[in-house]
Structure 1
Amino acid sequence: MEKDLSRRGFLKGAAVSVAAIGLAGCSPKVVNTANESEAGVIGSNSGEACVSDFSSFFTASAAEQEEIKNSTDGGEYDIIVIGAGASGVPCAVKAYQEGAKVLVLQKEATVVSQGGNCNGIEADTSDPSAILNFIQETTKQCTYRNDREQTKVFAYNSGEAVHWYYDEAVGSGYNIGVREWGVDYGEDFGQLKTIWVVTSKPDNTSTSMKSIMAAYEDKIDVRYNTPAVQLIKEGNKVTGVYAKDIDGAYYKFNATKGVVIATGDYQNNDAMVAKYCPDVLDFEKKQFNKTGDGQLLGMMIGAEMEPLGHTKMIHDFDSGPMFDERFLRVDMYGKRFSNEDMDLSVVNNYLRNYGPEMAGKYCQIFDGNYVEQVTSWGGRPTDEEALLMYMPDVEMEDRKGVLVDRIDTHKADTLDELATILQIPADELKATVKRYNELVDKGWDADFGKKFKYMKKIEKAPFYGIRKNLRVSALCSGIVINENFEVLDSERKPIEQLYAIGNVSGAFYGSPDYPLNLPGLSLGRCVTSGYVLGKTLAAK
């Protein structure tokens, strides 16, 4: 049964409530009955405005609201995966390996992913108490708003999934790095051991996932330049997908076991950002064409968006090393703006109100004694030779492991010269450094209260500055799912045969900022969710 998803259909006959859409100030609810003439909006007269606001989300998206009247039968598959990235590729490939007939619908002309670090927990060799402590620490870092059951699925399955990812990448001919990693939680909890797969810059996970997908493109039906535009729902069951090819022709594909949404986040959809994560409006976005397609596909048929407080991943690992060291930090006006004893993941919160030109931009300032100083407070200094890799003014043929167009580390003989290079006011920088040194002499940070072990004078040439630009890497919240990756409606009941994995899905984190307690957690989660769901659906 084909559904009318026009604007009128949303108000009268579509299986979605305005309350589920979660728009501010929207209290009405769409009541659906067997008789369309009896359906309507109750509780408020603001339903039209709410639907109009929801419709604004589609301006930048490949998803479509209007009824699709003409389409070509595209055939039947066991599983349809929407999106070919860090979660979609593992889901499709693993499902095929388990015997399923799989279709992949990808909006872009190729596989698209991001990042380079992917971590998974070695459940068999870690202490059981360490795994439970990891779950608790992650819950704590997520301000106790995460779905603990989803965290458990990651904790107990990610090692197997990441090993599989590594084997598939190598087997496809891609040379990917791997290392052992772990955390010693002490006598109470013991050792947590992980497998950490690394894609070296300038490559990223797109490179490895493209290689894996290419190895299966004669076995899996992959349609590039073919975005999913609507889901097909009969009763409470999703039975297929409408997609549109590069020529604008519509196809109807049927799925017997499930439809999996794996389209990534919505950072490039300004209307959705303004609603769900307004803190990042002024920040530069790392990704392109992440327009919330999957979230909207789900919301059109009753899926619920995660409550406000969406998790943002904002960092800068590219401009220079030692990004988490507690050096003096100044904004682009040359002024100190915070206690520097904080992780990089939360610095963005101090810089979100600087406007679109300055949001996320600041400089780390240190001097020629930095190796000794960082060592003294228990940090890990980058030696001066390695620091040259990040200096764009230094001629160097081989800068392996860095993004050349993003390095922004500088050295100068004077603070005046350094300020000129960093493009910040020299008088303000010198005044800030003078005040900072006075606080060191006082024996305590009377301005921001930073631990005194991190307070070190800036007085010995050469002087260093790393110009940081915190950009949005990912928005890690989306439509609500359970631990089985089933998409839930406003009553927290599963929508049959509809699943979501990776950053299109919500409730895995819950915190305003992405936690950094496990390097590569985001990609580890994406790979794990795809791997586990692919295997599960194939077995249905």
Structure 2
Amino acid sequence: MQKQPLCTRRSFIGLGGVAAATLAAGSLAGCASGSSSSSSSKDSSAPAAETTDYKAAPAPIADSEIKETVEADIVVIGGGISGAVAAATAAEAGKKVVVLQKAETALSHGSGAAAWNSKAQNEVGAKFDPWEAVIEWTRQGENRADLDLLKTWIYNSGPTMDWATELTNDVEGVGPVMMIYMPDMEYPDHFNMCYPAVHMWTGQMQALAQWLLDYSEENGAEVRYSTPAVQLVRDDNNTGRVSAAIAKNSDGYIKVTAADGVILAAGDYGNNPDMRAEYLPHAEGLKSAYTQPDINTGDGQLMGMWVGGFMQLAPHCSNIHYDPPIDVPDIGGSGIPWLFVNKKGKRFCNEDMQYGQLYAQDMNQPDYMHFQVFDDNFRTDWEDMGSGMMKKEPPVDIVASIEAGVEKGDVYTGDTLEALAESMGVPADALTATVERYNQLCDEGYDDDYGKQAGRLKPVRKGPFYAIARRAGVLCTLNGVITNGQCQVLDADREVIEGLYAVGNCQGNFFGGLEHQMVMPGMSLGRAMTTGRVAALVASGQELAKGRL
């Protein structure tokens, strides 16, 4: 497979302006670490779940149905970023690797991966106490994350980023740059605390994953595209070691033996309606992004459960964001706390909340959406409002983004509030009454309705007036079968299932809560890359970093 062309990108740098905005949106929005597709999401809302027991293990595939048998040391199921990292790591170790990828190419999303203590972070002074960050992560996740697994991330994420950086520094369209997010200091630190952990890749994770799969092939791995795994083989009547995986392509079934282990890296279950109904009920009504209905269907989680792996208990966590948009225009600034109104023209919440939690109030509104409403003073007001997810992140050129949206007709406008309401399709009397009340609160400097802090109460008086439709979507699901700190899958008794590993979005107990905690943006991909490498190192018999470096 053809590699990316080369260039030089030796150093990590801080980014600003539109370039930073583009990469930032990718890092936080993108999260699929397995094999989900990046095609359009317009038809990707989860269909109604069926009543059959979807967790029931299918009958084992008989040897007589196997058309081909392949011997390997390590089998990697999935060719997203977690699987690509695992394959490249194992191939470098001299292992015979077979990758079973459901799609026709590598498939991954986003561009930012969180890590601690990488060379890149140290070069730019982006240092922080990892346990302080992890404990805050755990607190925001309702204390449901496994600290042994997070400890593995602490001590192995930096070396993982260093490894990936050294491989791709000179690769055009792939190589790394550095992005640093800072906390919103308008509130106490804990409110929007954000640690400088994100490592960006210019070509986003799709390019990095494909490059790593190509690299693994150069080191002897065999990557089989359009060949999804369908079953695992666990010896001794499903009580012993996982010794093989069975896949299927256009010619029939293929059995791939795994002397050292099988790594589940097949991504999320965003397009499995049964799994979403059971594990993600709080996202009912939200469409899936970054998906293709026949790709991210929870194959890895199901295969793991069929051989005894224990699925993390519901409810599961997800990246539920406004960026990238679902059925609404792609305009920056979805996290800016302007006035929010619903389809009835009424204000319904405190707009100045943590980005990952903004969607929750929409779930109580018609069509699960809201409009941001603001006036022509946005050109100066936005600087006091923050520009995006973390409010004080490297600035997006909001003015240019909105003006471009106006020109394309993607931003609702009106010289009067009545005209704006007509453009939005909301009742004019309700919108004008809402704005009148909101302006009163702004003048008084105290939000007696919903408690928004005074510094972000900006009146809506100077025409023309603007509104942007916002509707959140499920970027990916973030949970799977539980593992120990070495990514070995555990059963219901928390005993290791020998020969089976789970990484990325196939893995459970890394994320708690209902939505990705923004205390460390890029943690989905950071988890994916780190656990992919950890599982491959463990399966290959190599040592992990275990303490302060």
TM category (shorter chain) comes to: 0.7 to 0.9
Q: Alignment partner of 2:54: what SS?
A: helix
Is the Cα–Cα contact under 8 Å of residues 165 and 527 in structure 1 kept in the other structure?
no
Q: Alignment partner of 2:474: what SS?
A: strand
Instruction: Give the equivalent residue in structure 1 for 2:474.
Output: 472
Instruction: Give the equivalent residue in structure 2 for 1:324.
Output: 335
TM-aligned CA deviation for residue 296 of structure 1: 0.6
- Report % sequence identity: 33
2:235 aligned with 1:221, yes or no? no
Amino acid at match of 1:452: A
Instruction: Give the equivalent residue in structure 2 for 1:157.
Output: 156
TM-aligned CA deviation for residue 310 of structure 1: 0.5
Q: Provide closer, same or farther for how the CA distance between residues 390 and 516 of structure 1 changes in structure 2, counting only shifts above 3 A.
A: farther
Choose which of 527, 534, 537 in structure 1 pairs with 2:536: 534
Is the Cα–Cα contact under 8 Å of residues 185 and 192 in structure 1 kept in the other structure?
no
Instruction: Give the equivalent residue in structure 2 for 1:485.
Output: 487
TM-aligned CA deviation for residue 95 of structure 1: 0.8
Q: Alignment partner of 1:533: what SS?
A: helix
Instruction: Give the equivalent residue in structure 2 for 1:386.
Output: 400
Q: Unaligned 5+ residue runs, structure 1?
A: 1-51, 59-63, 396-407
Amino acid at match of 1:122: N
2:77 aligned with 1:82, yes or no? yes
TM-aligned CA deviation for residue 334 of structure 1: 1.9
Deviations 1:104-145 (A, max 9, x none): 001111111112222322257479871221111111121211
Choose which of 381, 396, 408 in structure 2 pairs with 1:373: 381
Is the Cα–Cα contact under 8 Å of residues 131 and 192 in structure 1 kept in the other structure?
no
Q: Alignment partner of 1:418: what SS?
A: helix
2:107 aligned with 1:103, yes or no? no
Is the Cα–Cα contact under 8 Å of residues 122 and 195 in structure 1 kept in the other structure?
no
Instruction: Give the equivalent residue in structure 1 for 2:254.
Output: 251
Instruction: Give the equivalent residue in structure 2 for 1:93.
Output: 88
Is the Cα–Cα contact under 8 Å of residues 77 and 100 in structure 2 kept in the other structure?
yes
Is the Cα–Cα contact under 8 Å of residues 265 and 502 in structure 2 kept in the other structure?
yes
Instruction: Give the equivalent residue in structure 2 for 1:43.
Output: none
Q: Alignment partner of 2:217: what SS?
A: coil
Instruction: Give the equivalent residue in structure 2 for 1:302.
Output: 308
Distance 1:500 1:471 in 2: 25
Distance 2:156 2:184 in 1: 20
Is the Cα–Cα contact under 8 Å of residues 115 and 205 in structure 1 kept in the other structure?
yes
TM-aligned CA deviation for residue 268 of structure 1: 0.4
Q: Alignment partner of 1:87: what SS?
A: helix
Q: Alignment partner of 1:523: what SS?
A: helix
Instruction: Give the equivalent residue in structure 1 for 2:242.
Output: 238
TM-score by length of 1: 0.79
Is the Cα–Cα contact under 8 Å of residues 96 and 221 in structure 2 kept in the other structure?
yes
2:293 aligned with 1:290, yes or no? no
Question: More strand per residue: 1 or 2?
Answer: 1
Distance 2:184 2:428 in 1: 45
Number of aligned residue pairs: 463
Is the Cα–Cα contact under 8 Å of residues 71 and 258 in structure 2 kept in the other structure?
yes
Is the Cα–Cα contact under 8 Å of residues 75 and 263 in structure 2 kept in the other structure?
yes
Instruction: Give the equivalent residue in structure 1 for 2:54.
Output: 56
Instruction: Give the equivalent residue in structure 2 for 1:209.
Output: 209
Distance 1:221 1:518 in 2: 34
Amino acid at match of 2:93: E
Q: CA RMSD in A?
A: 2.9
Distance 1:204 1:383 in 2: 21
Distance 2:427 2:314 in 1: 38
Distance 2:112 2:411 in 1: 23
Is the Cα–Cα contact under 8 Å of residues 122 and 193 in structure 1 kept in the other structure?
no
Amino acid at match of 2:268: D
Is the Cα–Cα contact under 8 Å of residues 118 and 196 in structure 1 kept in the other structure?
yes
Distance 2:441 2:183 in 1: 35
Q: Provide closer, same or farther for how the CA distance between residues 427 and 205 of structure 1 changes in structure 2, counting only shifts above 3 A.
A: farther
Distance 1:412 1:384 in 2: 19
Larger radius of gyration: 1
Distance 1:479 1:150 in 2: 13
Q: Provide closer, same or farther for how the CA distance between residues 86 and 333 of structure 1 changes in structure 2, counting only shifts above 3 A.
A: farther
Is the Cα–Cα contact under 8 Å of residues 130 and 192 in structure 1 kept in the other structure?
no
Which has the bigger relative contact order, CA under 8 A and spacing at least 6? 2
Q: Provide closer, same or farther for how the CA distance between residues 68 and 382 of structure 1 changes in structure 2, counting only shifts above 3 A.
A: closer
TM-score by length of 2: 0.78
Q: Alignment partner of 2:154: what SS?
A: helix
TM-aligned CA deviation for residue 73 of structure 1: 4.1
Deviations 1:195-243 (A, max 9, x none): 62144xxx64223312332344353111111111111001321000111
2:517 aligned with 1:503, yes or no? no
Amino acid at match of 1:313: N
2:288 aligned with 1:280, yes or no? no
Amino acid at match of 1:206: Q
TM-aligned CA deviation for residue 171 of structure 1: 5.0
Deviations 1:350-378 (A, max 9, x none): 222457xx12x211111122244343467
TM-aligned CA deviation for residue 472 of structure 1: 0.5
Is the Cα–Cα contact under 8 Å of residues 83 and 105 in structure 1 kept in the other structure?
yes
Distance 2:323 2:372 in 1: 13
Q: Alignment partner of 1:274: what SS?
A: helix
TM-aligned CA deviation for residue 336 of structure 1: 1.3
Q: Provide closer, same or farther for how the CA distance between residues 377 and 242 of structure 1 changes in structure 2, counting only shifts above 3 A.
A: closer
Amino acid at match of 2:504: G
Is the Cα–Cα contact under 8 Å of residues 130 and 185 in structure 1 kept in the other structure?
no
Q: Alignment partner of 2:442: what SS?
A: helix
Instruction: Give the equivalent residue in structure 1 for 2:449.
Output: 447
Is the Cα–Cα contact under 8 Å of residues 88 and 262 in structure 1 kept in the other structure?
yes
Instruction: Give the equivalent residue in structure 2 for 1:340.
Output: 351
